[in-house]
A and B are shown apart, each in its own frame.
Chain A
Amino acid sequence: MADATAGHARPVHVEQTSTGLPSTKLAMWLFLGSECLLFGALITTYVLYRGASQTGPYPQDVFDIPYTSVSSFVLLASSLTMVLSLTAAEKHDHARMRLWLLATAFLGMTFVGGQVYEFTHFYREGLSISTNLFGTTFYVLTGFHGVHVTVGILMLLSLVGMSSTNRLPEDPAFPVELVGLYWHFVDIVWIVIFTVVYLIPNPVPK
């Protein structure tokens, strides 16, 4: 199985499976389907408790929509760079692939950094996870999302590391595609969160 020659590792075989589809990709899609239930529960909790906080700070007291919009653009851009790295991978252009992977990771880190800054700012404004329902649901929902982004960044950097040390196959498209699927999913969850949490107006407290 091992390719004795130096350079990139063993050749890819076409999977012979009952469906003709690769098992890892099927597994990833099933996993992403299950993640919809996870984020759905968190979003439902947020929506349920929208407007139910009995004390402040309230969303309109702390939200900075322009700031968060920039964050959203950053994450969307990272999906684009991800797909460009896949295009490079399909062309067996490892250098360009690593470049776009690093760009994606960098944009992801910017997003997470932006969130950390935002959280710190909110905390200084008096919104902690236990202050009220808004703090509770906001931090937990966006926090879970942020952790998912962080795991994604680790996977992106791992790909870069593996590519640099010749541990990826000559045609690295498959692992890049799988990580890409996870990354795009995390992006589309943010599309929903951005709308539901930030853009849809929150009820004004009485």
Chain B
Amino acid sequence: MNRDHDGGKTIDGHHSFSFNLNGDEHQGEAEPRLLLSDYLRHHAGLTGTHVGCEHGVCGACTVLVDGEAVRSCLMLAVQADGHEVTTVEGLTPEEVPAATPAEGNGTAGNGAAGAGGVPPLHPLQDAFWEAHGLQCGFCTPGILMTLVPFLEENPDPSEEEIRYALSGNLCRCTGYQHIVDAVLLAAQRQREAGE
């Protein structure tokens, strides 16, 4: 078949595409049937995006596309073409800052100061760490990626709003209470930092 605008198709049925991945321009090539979740894990090597149910129920594969939380198992990799994708790896800088032993034991827990060669965590990750918002951690990347845009839109969320925001993410360990606590803590710190 000879049709125009077939999404950058190459001879062997693969499609080439390019998108912004965690701040960097990324060139990719894949069969159109490859899911974005599988592309991120197996081709881009970003295994922080977890794959659970693969039909849009569990939320473990949630990433940001143009700043909005979406299921990466319900998108084709070729559909990322021209868009901005942020995975959990994109929440924190890649470079580990030099250890600064005097820091790192304040209210911000492990992360914010980046003490002892540990990469600094995103404030939300830091709150999860401190409030025990995870146990096995499988659901955590998807939950973080759901909540980052949520907290931007809702800087002072109620517990009910947090639970509603979490309705698309399954966690089988925590019973959710410590996740809610972590979000409340992160929101409180975010507000205090903004004051």
State whether these chains interact.
no
Residues in chain A within 8 A of chain B (CB atoms): none
**B contact set with A: CB distance below 8 Å:** none
